[in-house]
Structures are given as structure tokens and as C-alpha cells.
Structure 1
């Protein structure tokens, strides 16, 4: 159990992480590998603690967005294979220094990594080839297969350990036809490249919603990010997952307001009647962005909802507690396992990903195991 909260903290529950990992693993057949995405400080939580727990749970791979994230994991004793999803050529020496595995997604990136690996006298260095099957962010096209194969055949510096792509709308049942086309496109590209390579790399395309909705896209390995952290992108799956992060704070001060008095910058809120406001030490510098101001966001105090009033400040928010029996120093819950970040984010017109990954490093992390 967590101790009484006396300041703003983000509690990270490793038991809930284990529950989510095991639930998602139960959705794939035996033998299919589990790649766990720990980019962005494990979606705003604690990448080191999460990675260590995932190792103990039996994860096969980890993934980060950028090489410095992988470097941090290695420096803290993480030995699992680490895929770098969006490596930048400036960091290719760092990739090799810390035994990271780059996803190569364009001719420029492929050729540059081969050059660096050759210069470093590497042989069969593990790399991953990414195809664009319709998301149109990064990735090779189907027609690039011959070019990829030619560059790989001309060098012994690298060895393809996986071929991957990314689904664009696997949580949207209205886009099922598009998703199935993505799966077909990836299958064609991967098989063409495998034929030219003469060996069988790991294939993976499914994200969390792909795991849950498209078993035909599980291939040899699946990738889970948001699902590990307790969100399934659909209400029917959210009930089976447990959010691992709880953002809590305290009431710093209570204010009694008279009709016409204003709260915060630009007098963005004006009391219409006698009321009580509470000031909480969290603001947009902590990840509670300005979109949550003016009633679009809320917190919970003693289980009751308190809307955010006025503009969100850099270090503080003010909430309406007129209807709540509370005192200075009382605990405030922004989101937790029971009051989902999804609801708060949706109410403000955004998504849980943005809210949970925005929690800044100055909010103390407390790991609950």
C-alpha cells in the first residue's frame, strides 16, 4: 500500500504491470514473443523500474524511441535486447556502444548504419527493417525490397533480426478493411524480403489493439505499449487492464471567495456565489496542461469530483471544493486505477497517452511493488 501523500507524487504499481503483461500474453499463442515498449520513460512512469520488472516477467524484447533512452537502460543494468524504433544517424555510434538494435526505415538510414557498422568492424550486427504499410510516418515501401536486399547483400556488417511495420487504426472497428490491407501489405513485403535474404527474421506488426483485435497480425512477435500501462483503447478491454500510475497531490491552501472575486491569471474564473477553492501544487510544468483549465479538467478529493477553475498555472491548479468537506493537507487524486486518466483526458479533448507521458520528472516517482 502507498503511504499518506504529502506532496505531488506519481505512484507506479508493479503488481498492476504484471497483471497487464500476463493478460496481454494470454491473448497470443505460445511461442509468440512479447516486445514491451518502454519509450518516453515507460509512458511517463519509471523506465528503469518497469524494464527490470518486465525482465522478471519474461519479456523477450524492449523497445525505445531514441538511442539515449536505450543508453539509460543499459547504464542501469538492463540486459534484454532493446529495439530503437526511430534512431537518428547522429546516434549510430551510441547505438553500437550500448548494444542497441536499430530499426532501419529508409535508404539513407540503412546505408549510414551499414557505413558506421563497417567502420566499427562489426559483423552481423542485429538490425530491424521497417516497412510502411499505411501509417505513412516512417518505413520502406514495398517497391524498396530489391534495394534493401542489394544493400544488405553487399555487406557483412549487419544481419536482419526482424522485419516490422505498424498498424494505424487497429482500435477502430470502422477501419477494419484498411487494417486488413495493412496486414496484407506487410505480409507481401516481408515475404519478398525473406526470399531474397535466404533466412527467416522475426516478423511483427501488432500494437496493443492489434494484439486484442487482430490475431492474424500476431506473426512471430507482438508489441505492447499502452496496454502494459493499463489502457486498452476500448472500454471492453479497459475493464480487464489495471492502470499502473496514480498521480496524487495535496491541498496547499483553501480560499473563501465572495461573489465577483476571480481566481488565477487573467481572472479566467469569477465566482458567481460564495464558494471555496483549493490550490494544488501541480501545473503545466508538471504535465497538467492548460487544456485542463476552465472546467475541462477535474480532480478527486475524498472520492468527490472537483473541477479545475480558471487557467492552469505553471506550478498550481485551483479547484472548486465548495461541495466537499476537506482540509488543507488532504490528499488529491488526479488519476489512479479507479479514476482513469482516459476519462480526464477525453473530457478535455485529448487522449490518455498525452496526459500520462507528460508528467514531468520533477513529480516524485514512488514505485509500489
Structure 2
């Protein structure tokens, strides 16, 4: 573990990314990996993760916005970058200036992008987004409405270089018969579009549809790329959800904070805002320097969330504050100011997980990790 750096910090084991990538590759055969590094790589550090993925041979990245793409370019990432979301018209120039691929989120959006490119006398690289059931972005191609003509027209636009086609799974994490059937039908619809394009003499380009649970539960579908996010970071969205595969992932993120104060409180004394914790006996309390402004959800207050203090499991008590929280360390023999507390990770052979936080917060690990804020330094494990 790294020495104390700040009031709180995250440690990122980028070397474990290589192991996790190999675990993903076992599931997908010859399918290539598009590393999803949006939202600061789900809070793990986009540039650091992208560099580690490049060392693993990854040649394509997915981001949510043009500013995320530009961060990678400015950091020297030269590989392909696909913007999965919306780029405003005033930022279209970055797409051709920085060789960035734009997803076509609707037919009208593709027309607008093509008009811009025609006016500027440039070609803009793009992927066609097909909506097979997510109903978020893309041209709808579902049983109720199949807009194949619009998909064909996007490929035929004079100033767009449409190099790929993709869709997205909303329930690939759910193994109930209803949702397995829904996902399987999405795959059928996606194949149907690809076949129809080829019959019209159109090369669909690279094909990708699998997100993380699409990889875990549907294996090698024979497409060109898949889009893991959390998987190469060594975690899934929810440890309690059953999956069809048994990968051996290593979580790459650990989260630490310092003890700032240790004191004894007496029976009847309360801890933190709202006085939700009142001591019924003498309690040794450690204040630790992490709070909800760092990404530790206030929602998990007073739910016996355990952290590790010198390798001993200790519950949080009282409401989590913006910058601090309090821990019952009565059972820890020796605790001093400056000691390192493990909120996520391993300490002295004991382990606490992000999933424990997410379950108490009634959310998924994607959100918990993404909400670790920018003021928490990300340090690469040495």
C-alpha cells in the first residue's frame, strides 16, 4: 500500500488491468475490446486506464463526450476514440481536427453532421447507432418500427465515413427468461440490420453490441468488438447478480483516508449531525478524513458500514459529513492520528468492497465508483 498522500486518496493497480483484460478475452474469443473510459473511467482515472489498456493491445476507446475524447488526445492517446453520446454542433470541428469518431444518435443528427462536414469540405468518421430495445439514442429498429431506410441513408451520406454499427443491451444482466429472450431478440434484430445492409451492397463496418454483462452472460457472439467498462477494472455492477461465467477479476481500485482524531465519548453523548448515534457505553471514536464530498455516500450513514482500521473491521457511526466521518474503534487496541483507514480494498488480510457500499446505498457499483470526486487523488500502485 502507498504511504499516506493526502487526507484521502484512491490507489489504482494498473498492472491488474492486464490480468482482467485476459479474463475478458477468455470469454469473447477473437472479438476485440473497445475499452470504455467514460466518466473518468468510472472514477478510476481515464488517462491512466487508457495507457494501461494500450499496453494490453487495446486500439479503440469509448467515451461519452468530446471533452473526454480531447483529454485522451491531449494525453497522447492516439488510438481510435468513439464518442458514444451527443456532441454539440459548435464542437463538430474537434471531430475532424482530432480524428475522433462520432456516434450517429439519430437520423436528423447525422444529417446535421453531414451538412457541417460538406460545408467544411471534410469527412467525419462515424458509427451508426441502432436502437434495438434501449430506447435511448439511435435509429429505432424494433418490431414496432423498423427504420432501415434511415440506417441505409446514413451510410450513403457524402461527407460521413460510417465505419461501424452498434447497439446496446438494457437487460443483459438479468437471467430471467423474459429478459434473456429480450436480449436474444436484440441480437437477432442487430443481425437482421447487418444482413440487410450487406444485401444492399453496404459494408456495415465494425459491429459491436456487448456491454459488460453482455460479455459475461452471452460470451462470444462473433462481432468485431465488445465494450467492457467495469470488467477490466475488476468489478461488476452488483456482486449479488448471478452470471453465466466465472471470471477471476482483480479489483484495481482501493480507497483510503487518514485518522485525524481519536477520542473517547461517554454514554449519552451523540455523534455528528442529527444526533442519530447516541453512545450507550464508553466508545472510542476515530474521526477519518473522508466524506460525501469525496464520494462516500451520505445515504450509507448509520447502516453499520464497516471500514478497516489497522486491519480491524469497524463500523461507521453517525451521519457522514461533507469532509469527515466517524468510526467506532473501541475494539482496536492502538489507533493514532495519521493511521490509514481502508474504505475499499484490503488491509492486513481483511477486505472491504465497493459492493458493500453500493448495497447499503441501494445503487450499483458503477455509480458508487463514478461518484468518487475529483478532489480525491488517484495514485498508481507501485
Secondary structure of the residue aligned to 2:303 is: coil
Q: Which residue of 2 aligns with 1:157?
A: 159
Measure, in 1, the Cα distance between the counterparts of 2:304 and 2:105.
39
Q: Which residue of 2 aligns with 1:45?
A: 44
2:76 paired with 1:77: yes
Q: Structure 2 vs 1, CA of residues 197 and 261 (structure 1 numbering), >3 Å: closer, same or farther?
A: farther
2:356 paired with 1:347: no
> What is the CA deviation profile of residues 13-58 of structure 1, one whole-angstrom value per residue up to 9, with x for unaligned ones?
011111111110122223x221010011111011111111111110
2:231 paired with 1:188: no
Secondary structure of the residue aligned to 2:27 is: coil
Secondary structure of the residue aligned to 1:169 is: coil
Q: Which residue of 1 aligns with 2:175?
A: 173
TM-score with structure 1 setting the length: 0.93
Measure, in 1, the Cα distance between the counterparts of 2:200 and 2:270.
70
Instruction: Return the offset for 1:299.
Output: 1.5
Instruction: Return the offset for 1:189.
Output: 2.4
Measure, in 2, the Cα distance between the counterparts of 1:244 and 1:37.
15
Q: Structure 2 vs 1, CA of residues 72 and 6 (structure 1 numbering), >3 Å: closer, same or farther?
A: closer
Measure, in 2, the Cα distance between the counterparts of 1:59 and 1:224.
12
Contact 1:64/1:70 (8 A) holds in 2:
yes
Q: Which residue of 2 aligns with 1:117?
A: 117
Measure, in 2, the Cα distance between the counterparts of 1:367 and 1:238.
27
Q: Which residue of 1 aligns with 2:283?
A: 275
Equivalent of 1:245 in 243, 253, 257: 253
Equivalent of 2:320 in 293, 296, 312: 312
Q: Structure 2 vs 1, CA of residues 259 and 134 (structure 1 numbering), >3 Å: closer, same or farther?
A: same
Equivalences for residues 224-239 of structure 1 within 5 A:
224-233=228-237, 234=239
Equivalent of 1:209 in 197, 205, 213: 213
Contact 1:5/1:249 (8 A) holds in 2:
no
Instruction: Return the offset for 1:238.
Output: 7.4
RMSD (Å), alpha carbons: 1.9
Secondary structure of the residue aligned to 2:185 is: helix
Measure, in 2, the Cα distance between the counterparts of 1:244 and 1:218.
28
Q: Structure 2 vs 1, CA of residues 141 and 231 (structure 1 numbering), >3 Å: closer, same or farther?
A: same
Measure, in 1, the Cα distance between the counterparts of 2:280 and 2:197.
67
Measure, in 2, the Cα distance between the counterparts of 1:317 and 1:108.
50
Q: Which residue of 1 aligns with 2:340?
A: 331
294-303 or 256-265, which deviates more: 294-303
Instruction: Return the offset for 1:288.
Output: 0.9
Measure, in 1, the Cα distance between the counterparts of 2:96 and 2:122.
9
Equivalent of 1:258 in 261, 266, 269: 266
Measure, in 2, the Cα distance between the counterparts of 1:182 and 1:302.
49
Measure, in 1, the Cα distance between the counterparts of 2:305 and 2:92.
42
TM-score with structure 2 setting the length: 0.90
Equivalent of 1:359 in 355, 364, 372: 372
Secondary structure of the residue aligned to 1:131 is: strand
> What is the CA deviation profile of residues 82-139 of structure 1, one whole-angstrom value per residue up to 9, with x for unaligned ones?
000002333322233221101112122111111222222113x320011111122212
Measure, in 2, the Cα distance between the counterparts of 1:365 and 1:312.
22
Measure, in 2, the Cα distance between the counterparts of 1:221 and 1:5.
39
Which sections of structure 1, spanning at least 5 residues, go unmatched? none
